[in-house]
A and B are shown apart, each in its own frame.
Chain A
Amino acid sequence: GAGVSQSPSNKVTEKGKDVELRCDPISGHTALYWYRQSLGQGLEFLIYFQGNSAPDKSGLPSDRFSAERTGGSVSTLTIQRTQQEDSAVYLCASSLDLAGWVSYEQYFGPGTRLTVT
Protein backbone atom coordinates (compact mmCIF):
# COMPACT_ATOMS: atom_id res chain seq x y z
CA GLY A 1 0.00 0.00 0.00
CA ALA A 2 0.98 3.64 -0.20
CA GLY A 3 3.41 4.93 2.37
CA VAL A 4 3.68 8.34 3.97
CA SER A 5 3.92 11.06 1.35
CA GLN A 6 5.22 14.59 1.74
CA SER A 7 5.20 17.63 -0.46
CA PRO A 8 7.03 19.47 -1.74
CA SER A 9 10.15 17.32 -1.81
CA ASN A 10 12.31 20.42 -2.04
CA LYS A 11 11.58 24.00 -1.15
CA VAL A 12 13.85 26.99 -1.53
CA THR A 13 12.56 30.17 0.02
CA GLU A 14 13.84 33.61 0.87
CA LYS A 15 14.39 34.61 4.44
CA GLY A 16 11.27 36.16 5.88
CA LYS A 17 8.79 34.28 3.70
CA ASP A 18 6.24 31.81 5.03
CA VAL A 19 6.27 28.16 3.95
CA GLU A 20 3.80 25.34 4.25
CA LEU A 21 4.85 21.69 4.29
CA ARG A 22 2.36 18.92 3.75
CA CYS A 23 2.19 15.34 5.04
CA ASP A 24 -0.20 12.62 3.95
CA PRO A 25 0.01 9.68 6.38
CA ILE A 26 -0.60 6.01 5.73
CA SER A 27 -4.33 5.40 5.43
CA GLY A 28 -5.79 4.38 8.77
CA HIS A 29 -2.89 5.65 10.85
CA THR A 30 -4.27 7.77 13.63
CA ALA A 31 -0.99 9.16 14.94
CA LEU A 32 1.15 11.59 12.95
CA TYR A 33 4.53 13.06 13.84
CA TRP A 34 6.77 15.83 12.57
CA TYR A 35 10.54 15.73 12.96
CA ARG A 36 13.37 17.91 11.73
CA GLN A 37 16.78 16.64 10.64
CA SER A 38 19.71 18.98 10.37
CA LEU A 39 23.48 18.56 10.46
CA GLY A 40 23.87 20.48 13.65
CA GLN A 41 20.95 19.13 15.66
CA GLY A 42 20.43 15.63 14.30
CA LEU A 43 16.87 14.32 14.38
CA GLU A 44 14.53 16.40 16.54
CA PHE A 45 10.94 15.63 17.39
CA LEU A 46 8.67 18.61 16.78
CA ILE A 47 5.04 17.68 17.35
CA TYR A 48 2.67 14.74 17.41
CA PHE A 49 -1.01 14.45 16.53
CA GLN A 50 -3.45 11.92 17.84
CA GLY A 51 -6.33 12.34 15.46
CA ASN A 52 -6.60 16.09 14.93
CA SER A 53 -5.31 16.96 18.36
CA ALA A 54 -1.74 17.85 19.32
CA PRO A 55 -1.37 17.21 23.09
CA ASP A 56 2.03 18.88 23.40
CA LYS A 57 3.42 21.67 21.25
CA SER A 58 6.51 22.32 23.34
CA GLY A 59 8.81 20.64 20.81
CA LEU A 60 8.16 23.30 18.19
CA PRO A 61 11.36 25.41 17.94
CA SER A 62 9.65 28.81 18.13
CA ASP A 63 6.29 30.48 17.83
CA ARG A 64 6.95 30.90 14.12
CA PHE A 65 6.19 27.20 13.78
CA SER A 66 2.65 25.85 13.79
CA ALA A 67 1.01 22.64 12.69
CA GLU A 68 -2.48 21.44 12.11
CA ARG A 69 -4.20 18.27 11.07
CA THR A 70 -7.67 18.04 9.62
CA GLY A 71 -9.99 15.11 9.14
CA GLY A 72 -7.57 12.86 11.00
CA SER A 73 -5.48 12.67 7.86
CA VAL A 74 -3.39 15.33 6.12
CA SER A 75 -1.21 17.59 8.22
CA THR A 76 0.52 20.85 7.41
CA LEU A 77 3.52 22.33 9.14
CA THR A 78 3.75 26.09 8.66
CA ILE A 79 6.84 28.15 9.27
CA GLN A 80 6.31 31.90 9.31
CA ARG A 81 9.00 34.47 8.61
CA THR A 82 11.56 31.79 7.81
CA GLN A 83 15.12 32.15 9.05
CA GLN A 84 18.28 30.54 7.74
CA GLU A 85 18.46 28.29 10.81
CA ASP A 86 15.15 26.75 9.69
CA SER A 87 16.98 25.07 6.80
CA ALA A 88 16.68 21.34 7.35
CA VAL A 89 14.89 18.24 6.17
CA TYR A 90 11.42 18.02 7.67
CA LEU A 91 10.25 14.46 8.11
CA CYS A 92 6.75 13.26 8.76
CA ALA A 93 5.88 9.86 10.21
CA SER A 94 2.68 8.03 11.03
CA SER A 95 1.72 5.08 13.19
CA LEU A 96 -1.23 3.06 14.33
CA ASP A 97 -2.28 4.12 17.79
CA LEU A 98 -5.10 1.88 18.84
CA ALA A 99 -5.95 0.62 22.30
CA GLY A 100 -4.03 -2.58 22.88
CA TRP A 101 -1.63 -1.99 19.96
CA VAL A 102 1.68 -1.38 21.64
CA SER A 103 4.12 -1.31 18.77
CA TYR A 104 3.65 2.35 17.83
CA GLU A 105 6.12 1.70 15.02
CA GLN A 106 6.56 4.92 13.09
CA TYR A 107 6.78 4.90 9.31
CA PHE A 108 8.58 7.84 7.82
CA GLY A 109 7.92 9.81 4.67
CA PRO A 110 10.63 10.92 2.21
CA GLY A 111 10.92 14.36 3.77
CA THR A 112 10.87 17.95 2.55
CA ARG A 113 14.25 19.60 2.16
CA LEU A 114 13.84 23.25 3.09
CA THR A 115 16.52 25.75 2.17
CA VAL A 116 16.18 29.32 3.37
CA THR A 117 18.38 31.76 1.46
Chain B
Amino acid sequence: ELKVEQNPLFLSMQEGKNYTIYCNYSTTSDRLYWYRQDPGKSLESLFVLLSNGAVKQEGRLMASLDTKARLSTLHITAAVHDLSATYFCAVDPNSGGGADGLTFGKGTHLIIQP
Protein backbone atom coordinates (compact mmCIF):
# COMPACT_ATOMS: atom_id res chain seq x y z
CA GLU B 1 0.00 0.00 0.00
CA LEU B 2 1.38 3.39 -1.00
CA LYS B 3 1.97 5.76 1.89
CA VAL B 4 2.66 9.46 1.48
CA GLU B 5 4.06 11.42 4.40
CA GLN B 6 4.38 15.15 4.57
CA ASN B 7 6.20 17.19 7.11
CA PRO B 8 5.73 19.42 8.81
CA LEU B 9 1.96 19.19 9.11
CA PHE B 10 1.77 22.67 10.54
CA LEU B 11 4.09 25.58 9.88
CA SER B 12 3.92 29.14 11.10
CA MET B 13 6.52 31.45 9.66
CA GLN B 14 7.22 35.11 9.18
CA GLU B 15 7.09 36.99 5.93
CA GLY B 16 10.43 37.14 4.18
CA LYS B 17 11.68 33.80 5.50
CA ASN B 18 12.51 30.66 3.54
CA TYR B 19 11.24 27.19 4.32
CA THR B 20 10.88 23.72 2.83
CA ILE B 21 8.02 21.23 3.00
CA TYR B 22 8.97 17.57 2.57
CA CYS B 23 7.00 14.78 0.97
CA ASN B 24 8.17 11.17 1.30
CA TYR B 25 6.44 8.24 -0.34
CA SER B 26 6.82 4.53 0.10
CA THR B 27 6.75 2.89 -3.34
CA THR B 28 8.25 3.56 -6.72
CA SER B 29 6.57 6.33 -8.64
CA ASP B 30 7.68 9.03 -11.02
CA ARG B 31 4.54 11.11 -10.93
CA LEU B 32 4.14 13.56 -8.10
CA TYR B 33 1.82 16.54 -7.81
CA TRP B 34 1.60 19.51 -5.49
CA TYR B 35 -1.73 21.17 -4.77
CA ARG B 36 -2.78 24.21 -2.79
CA GLN B 37 -6.04 24.45 -0.86
CA ASP B 38 -7.44 27.64 0.65
CA PRO B 39 -10.00 27.36 3.47
CA GLY B 40 -13.38 26.24 2.17
CA LYS B 41 -12.05 25.93 -1.36
CA SER B 42 -11.09 23.11 -3.66
CA LEU B 43 -7.62 22.00 -4.72
CA GLU B 44 -5.56 24.13 -7.06
CA SER B 45 -2.81 22.42 -9.05
CA LEU B 46 0.63 23.93 -8.45
CA PHE B 47 3.21 21.57 -9.91
CA VAL B 48 3.37 18.35 -11.90
CA LEU B 49 6.67 16.46 -11.52
CA LEU B 50 7.11 13.57 -13.91
CA SER B 51 10.73 12.46 -13.76
CA ASN B 52 13.68 12.05 -11.47
CA GLY B 53 15.43 15.37 -10.97
CA ALA B 54 12.45 17.39 -12.16
CA VAL B 55 12.45 20.92 -10.81
CA LYS B 56 9.71 23.46 -11.39
CA GLN B 57 9.36 27.02 -10.17
CA GLU B 58 6.47 29.42 -10.03
CA GLY B 59 7.00 32.71 -8.29
CA ARG B 60 8.21 32.10 -4.74
CA LEU B 61 7.54 28.36 -4.89
CA MET B 62 9.88 25.72 -6.22
CA ALA B 63 9.22 21.98 -6.30
CA SER B 64 11.64 19.15 -6.94
CA LEU B 65 11.48 15.38 -7.23
CA ASP B 66 14.04 12.71 -6.36
CA THR B 67 12.51 9.39 -7.33
CA LYS B 68 15.43 7.37 -6.00
CA ALA B 69 15.02 8.85 -2.54
CA ARG B 70 11.23 8.86 -2.99
CA LEU B 71 11.25 12.46 -1.88
CA SER B 72 9.78 15.69 -3.16
CA THR B 73 10.30 19.12 -1.68
CA LEU B 74 8.33 22.34 -1.94
CA HIS B 75 10.55 25.31 -1.18
CA ILE B 76 9.18 28.70 -0.27
CA THR B 77 11.42 31.69 -0.84
CA ALA B 78 10.85 35.03 0.92
CA ALA B 79 7.37 34.06 2.03
CA VAL B 80 4.46 36.48 1.72
CA HIS B 81 1.10 36.38 3.48
CA ASP B 82 -0.75 35.38 0.29
CA LEU B 83 0.99 32.01 0.39
CA SER B 84 -0.87 31.05 3.55
CA ALA B 85 -2.82 27.89 2.67
CA THR B 86 -2.70 24.12 3.04
CA TYR B 87 -0.32 22.39 0.66
CA PHE B 88 -0.75 18.77 -0.37
CA CYS B 89 1.58 16.46 -2.20
CA ALA B 90 0.02 13.56 -4.07
CA VAL B 91 1.55 10.52 -5.72
CA ASP B 92 0.23 8.53 -8.64
CA PRO B 93 0.98 4.88 -7.88
CA ASN B 94 0.54 3.77 -11.45
CA SER B 95 3.91 4.66 -12.97
CA GLY B 96 4.13 4.09 -16.68
CA GLY B 97 0.54 3.03 -17.02
CA GLY B 98 -2.73 4.81 -17.38
CA ALA B 99 -4.16 7.43 -15.07
CA ASP B 100 -5.19 6.39 -11.58
CA GLY B 101 -6.36 7.82 -8.31
CA LEU B 102 -3.84 9.83 -6.36
CA THR B 103 -2.64 9.09 -2.85
CA PHE B 104 -2.40 12.31 -0.88
CA GLY B 105 -0.30 13.33 2.07
CA LYS B 106 -2.08 14.78 5.09
CA GLY B 107 -1.25 18.31 4.02
CA THR B 108 0.91 21.07 5.46
CA HIS B 109 -1.07 23.92 7.00
CA LEU B 110 1.05 27.00 6.36
CA ILE B 111 0.49 30.31 8.09
CA ILE B 112 2.63 33.26 7.12
CA GLN B 113 2.56 36.11 9.54
CA PRO B 114 3.34 39.73 8.63
Contact = CB atoms under 8 A, between A and B. Distances in A.
Interface stretch (A11-19, A64-72, A74-82, A105-113): A105-113
A42 B33 contact: no
B99 A48 contact: yes
Contacts of B88: 43
A50 interface: yes
Interface residues on B, range: 20 to 34
A95 B97 CA distance: 14
B101 interface: yes
A59 B101 contact: yes
Given A103-B50, A105-B33, A48 B42 contact: no
Nearest to B101: A45
Contacts of B100: 48, 104
B68 interface: no
Contacts of B55: none
B99 A110 contact: no
B41 A106 contact: no
B58 to A, nearest CB: 14
Contacts, number: 56
B101 A110 contact: no
Interface in B74-105: 88, 90, 92, 98-105
A47 B103 CA distance: 12
B81 to A, nearest CB: 24
Instruction: Name the residue in B41, B43, B92, B103 with the highest tally of chain A Cβ atoms < 10 Å from its Cβ.
Output: B43
A79 B108 CA distance: 30
Given A33-B101, A42-B107, A45-B101, A110 B45 contact: no
Given A104-B92, A105-B45, A108-B42, A42 B99 contact: no
A42 B107 CA distance: 8
A102 interface: yes
Contacts of B98: 50, 97
A88 interface: no
Interface of B: 31, 33, 35, 41-45, 48, 50, 88, 90, 92, 98-107
Interface of A: 31, 33, 35, 42-43, 45-48, 50, 59, 91, 93, 95, 97, 102-111
